[in-house]
Amino acid sequence: MNTAQTHSLEKTSPPKRQPLVMRLLDKDPGGKITISLLILIGIYVSIANLLIPEDSVFHITAYGVTLLGKYISFALLALSLDLVWGYLGVLSLGHGAFFALGGYAMGMYLMRQIGDRGVYGNPELPDFMVFLNYQELPWFWLGFDNFLFAALMIVLIPGLLAFVFGWLAFRSRVTGVYLSIITQALTFALMLAFFRNDMGLGGNNGLTDFKDILGFNLQSDTTRVGLFLTSIIMLILGYLVSRAIILSKLGRVVTAIRDSESRVRFIGYRVEHFKLFVFVVAAIMAGIAGALYVPQVGIINPAVFSPLFSIELIIWVAIGGRGTLYGAIIGAFIVSYSKTYFTGAWPEAWLYALGALFVLVTLFLPKGVAGLKAQFKENKFLKTLTFKKAN
Amino acid sequence: MLKQILILITLLLFASPSWAIEINDQQLSEKIQPLTQKKLKQVSKAIDELSQYQHSRIQPILEALLNNNLYYLRSDKEVIITEKIDDKYFAINAISSSDIGEVSKSSIKKIKTNNKIRKNLRTILAKLSLSDSNVDSRLIAAKNLRKNPSAEATSLLEEAVISEKDEEVKRVMVEALNIIKALDSNLEESKRVEAIYKLNDSLSTDARNALTTLSSKTADGDFTHPEAVALAAEKVSKSIAGNVNLYSYVETAFFGLSMGSVLLLAAIGLAITFGVMGVINMAHGEMIMIGAYTTYVMQLIMPNLITMSIWVAIPAAFLVAGMVGILMERLVIRHLYGRPLETLLATFGISLILQQLVRTIFSPLNKEVITPEFMAGSLQINEALSLTYNRLYIIVFALIVFFAVLYIMKKTTLGLQVRAVTQNREMAKAMGINTDRIDMITFGLGSGLAGIAGVALSQLSNVGPNLGQAYIVDSFMVVVFGGVGNLWGTFIAAFVLGELNKFIEPVYGAVLAKVLILIFIILFIQKRPRGLFPQKGRDAEG
């Protein structure tokens, strides 16, 4: 794991008068391009959906907006994973759990907004609770009528889980493969738990049939575009925050930990504190991504906790190029788009394609798409093609 | 009325020591003619009379009557036993059992019965079967009497016990007798109490039900039965409950053992590839799946030799899964040694491809693998405890596989070389070990073992493309819990997790049990990051 991450150690000391954003994006051409593209997409999509008439070729349908919004929230998720995997060196096989928890928190808020418009028309209880003979709202649903409380929970629940889990794991120096496997166990356990009807969170079917958010109808075009733009803004913010972390002194220590944990520890740093900080920040970002995903897709169910989803998002980062941040965004777009395409046009081929992607990317593109140029430059591409041992 | 009849029977029984008079077909045909009469009283009388004679067809006739299958032809009142298939009636002569063929519904008339007659019939049939020459029928009859205890059966049971040779049947008969005595309110209290104490060793639900009835209380807290009887029943009931409880623990422990051996089988291949080689094979579950499908294919090839096909499937699954494993190692994993996280991703990709491949070849639906005869049924230890053969065999099989692997790793040259490469690759190379070859063989061995596990698992559940996924997380948990690179650790971890799971299950349910186990392991890893039995030494800190 040494070749992929070397170029993230850029020099600091940016010129003093530059604005913060420019300082963060200094020497990050990929990031600059990605963010500019995101802003352009945001502007174009809102205009194309709302102002351009429907019969025009440039019009983007509501479905298209939602789909792009979904990709954007996935991109934010991939970005947070890159922070953990690319910079912390922790291959989390359970990162989807934080995404799902954020999604569930948002879903609970949206459920409460339905009020008495459900199938059963019960103003106190969501449909599935009426169906399952609940007499009253479970205690953990209290407060979710309030958006601010829900927003707090979107940040707090994934953050808290990451804190407790990370604190235990990093303190006892669980590393590498072991850590990967117990993160997988974590999301697997959560999936099993959320599948239960007794959990009070909709069981197998999850939460769905949402009506509106903050009073805006979820089906209307303006709300969709609004959510889409919010997602883009959050993604850009997430990118800048990640850059800020990486460029800070703390970020340098984190990268150093990734490359040689014991050495950093021997120098005198409390390694686990640094790891914990990044892990929690990434989990919160994943939670926010989940919260953006749910209103746009309109459903959250335990399948998001499945180990398969968590592993799938690893390939997003891997294909985009880990340890670059913008690579994760590109990767999320590429893989999610191919998934949409394949599952529509040729459903059986999707798993073959995904499987082949995993194998080919690890074998031939250790630096992902973002590292293609560098790979060509170092002429390693041909070497790996001829099956020479990577080390 | 019934009582009178029964008293009559009893009297008749005592009147004739060998209570059945043998009759021939001609006489029997006369005796069953009254059954065709319309009046139920006549029918009832005819039945009572029939029961006093001995003829091989009496029992089937009465059984048919009890099951509403006894008819007679309207034309000549010939009594027939019918079988209804797709709204058509097929009949045989009741006495000669000669085939009459299809009969129209309008040409036949059912011999009607009522509840009283049916109850009487049951008693008569029980009596008949208590003297049956077949041990199993006698046992069923005795169990029936135990389930429906009635004082009328006392004498016929007492008689049957004396002539009974089979231990098991005799035991059930005595138990039934004791239950009847205990429940009989006409008996002296001391005798009832004595009978209750004799039930102390029985485990059947019938005995427990009888005792519960005896020790039951009214709403005011008074016993519904005489105090001495009720107290004795309460005492014995408690002691039986204790015994039953003990056996249910033994049963749970057995389930735990069987789950543990399933885990052991699933994890042992992983213990080698992951533990010994440090390769994270996410396609391990798919190797298990391949083994299971090999079993399925073997059964397709030899549909008439199911037992044989299992024995052939074991080496076949080893070879097929082993070959796939070697292919994987040569094409992909070889290029990723020393990069565990990348290996994880690549093998995960392979697992997706293999799953989809199976879906394309065999359809995404589950396939059923037939269980060979020798694995069906169960070993009945006593009434509270029976162990199913398929679980027993899997435990034995898992142990055999484990010790075979242990032998290979500890006693053979190959094992020595594998361990050498594990401990210090460079040094092993320097000593002249072909590490490339060892890697390949070890990976093939691990994959082949997963294939063998698939053969065993195909006997427990349906075979489908997702079979492997169900076991992959569990297998990793076992290996990590036991300590990577330690076969004995895997062994102990498998059984500990199996037992834990099965003992938590009755309390919290299957899903929550699994969740709790996962949480337990996550916390355990915090405490002991390298499992129960960590590798010691300088290289272990890799």
CB B200 within 8 A of CB B240: yes
CB B138 within 8 A of CB B129: yes
Residue with tokens 């010691």: B536
Residue B438, number of CB atoms within 10 A of its CB: 21
pLDDT of residue B36: 79
Residue B528, number of CB atoms within 10 A of its CB: 14
Residue B359, number of CB atoms within 10 A of its CB: 16
Question: Is residue B40 within 8 angstroms of chain A, CB to CB?
Answer: no
- What residues of chain B lie within 8 A of the CB of A318, using their CB? 345
Percentage of chain B lying above the pLDDT 70 cut: 94
Task: Flag whether A33 is in a domain.
Answer: yes
pLDDT of residue B411: 92
Instruction: Determine the Cα–Cα distance for residues A312 and A306; give it in Å rounded to an integer.
Output: 10
Taking CA–CA distances from B363, the nearest residue in chain A reads: A348
Task: Flag whether A134 is in a domain.
Answer: yes
A174–B525 CB contact, under 8 Å: yes
pLDDT of residue A232: 95
Most confident stretch, A113-122, A296-305, B69-78, B127-136: A296-305
SS3 sequence of B451-512: HHHHHHHHCCCCECCCHHHHHHHHHHHHHHHHCCCCHHHHHHHHHHHHHHHHHHHHHHCHHH
pLDDT of residue A70: 94
Asked whether the ipTM of the predicted complex exceeds the cut of 0.85, the reply is: no
A174–B515 CB contact, under 8 Å: no
User: How many angstroms separate the CA of residue B531 from the nearest CA in chain A?
Assistant: 10
Residues 336-365 of chain A with CB under 8 A from chain B are 348, 351-352, 354-359, 361-363
> Tens digits of per-residue pLDDT, A20-75?
887 888 888 888 899 999 999 999 988 888 888 888 878 888 888 999 999 999 99
- What is the band of A303 on the pLDDT scale with cuts at 50, 70, 90? very high
DSSP assignment, residue A125? S
Task: Flag whether A352 is in a domain.
Answer: yes
Helix ranges restricted to H, B199-226: 205-214
Instruction: Taking residues A80-92, report their average pLDDT.
Output: 92
Most confident stretch, A2-6, A176-180, A238-242: A238-242
How is residue A161 written in tokens? Answer: 């889980």
Taking CA–CA distances from B512, the nearest residue in chain A reads: A193
Taking CA–CA distances from A92, the nearest residue in chain B reads: B341
- What is the band of A331 on the pLDDT scale with cuts at 50, 70, 90? very high
* Type of residue at B40: L
Instruction: Taking residues A352-374, report their average pLDDT.
Output: 84
Task: Flag whether A390 is in a domain.
Answer: no
A348–B359 CB contact, under 8 Å: yes
Question: Is residue B81 within 8 angstroms of chain A, CB to CB?
Answer: no
User: What is the pTM (predicted TM-score) of this model?
Assistant: 0.76
How is residue B110 written in tokens? Answer: 């059912």
How is residue A292 written in tokens? Answer: 């953006």
Of B336, B477, B515, the CB nearest to A192: B515
Distances (CA, A) of A340 to A66, A130, A139, A354: 13, 35, 38, 12
pLDDT of residue A51: 85
Task: Flag whether A98 is in a domain.
Answer: yes
A182–B522 CB contact, under 8 Å: yes
DSSP assignment, residue B368? P
Residue of A83 and B37 predicted with greater confidence = A83
pLDDT of residue A389: 47
* Type of residue at B311: W
Please state the φ and ψ torsions of residue A165, each to the nearest 5 degrees: -65, -50
pLDDT at A320 over 50: yes
Residues 168-197 of chain A with CB under 8 A from chain B are 168-169, 171-178, 180-182, 184-186, 188-189, 192-193, 195-196
Residue with tokens 């205990």: B182
A180–B341 CB contact, under 8 Å: yes
Instruction: Determine the Cα–Cα distance for residues B468 and B265; give it in Å rounded to an integer.
Output: 13
> What is the arrangement of strands in the sheet containing B88-93, beginning at the earlier edge strand?
B99-103, B88-93, B79-85, B70-73, B108-110
pLDDT at A258 over 70: yes
B340–A177 CB contact, under 8 Å: yes
| Fold held by B247-377+395-536 | ABC transporter involved in vitamin B12 uptake, BtuC (1.10.3470)
Q: Which of these, B89, B72, B83, lies nearest to B35 by C-alpha position? A: B72
Q: Which of these, B341, B351, B449, lies nearest to B400 by C-alpha position? A: B449
- What residues of chain A lie within 8 A of the CB of B505, using their CB? none
- Round the CA-based radius of gyration of chain B to a whole number and report it: 33
Distances (CA, A) of B217 to A124, B194, B205, B220, B226: 44, 21, 20, 8, 11
pLDDT of residue A4: 45
Of B337, B512, B526, the CB nearest to A172: B526
Residue A47, number of CB atoms within 10 A of its CB: 14
Distances (CA, A) of B367 to A352, B250, B289, B464: 22, 33, 12, 6
pLDDT of residue A282: 96
pLDDT of residue A257: 92
A314–B345 CB contact, under 8 Å: yes
pLDDT of residue B541: 45
pLDDT of residue B154: 76
Instruction: Determine the Cα–Cα distance for residues B258 and B251; give it in Å rounded to an integer.
Output: 10
Residues 325-384 of chain B with CB under 8 A from chain A are 332, 334-346, 348-353, 355-356, 359-360
**Which portions of chain B are predicted below pLDDT 50?**
14-18, 538-542
pLDDT of residue A390: 45
> Tens digits of per-residue pLDDT, A192-235?
899 988 888 888 888 988 888 888 888 888 899 999 999 999 99
CB B147 within 8 A of CB B153: no
Residues 66-95 of chain A with CB under 8 A from chain B are 91
B360–A172 CB contact, under 8 Å: no
A182–B344 CB contact, under 8 Å: no
* Domain boundaries along the sequence of chain B: 2-121, 133-246, 247-377+395-536
Residue B335, number of CB atoms within 10 A of its CB: 20
pLDDT of residue B413: 92
How is residue A249 written in tokens? Answer: 């002194």
Nearby residues of B107 by Cβ (< 8 Å), 6 or more positions away:
B73, B74, B75
- What residues of chain B lie within 8 A of the CB of A184, using their CB? 473, 476
Residue B168: strand, helix, or coil: helix
Of A165, A184, A314, the CB nearest to B473: A184
**Structural domain containing residue A193:** 3-385
> Tens digits of per-residue pLDDT, A131-147?
888 888 888 898 888 99
Helix ranges restricted to H, A51-175: 62-82, 96-114, 127-131, 147-171
E strands, chain A, are: 207-208, 212-213, 216-217, 299-300
> Tens digits of per-residue pLDDT, B301-343?
988 888 888 899 999 999 999 999 999 999 998 888 778 778 8
Question: What's the structural domain count of chain A?
Answer: 1
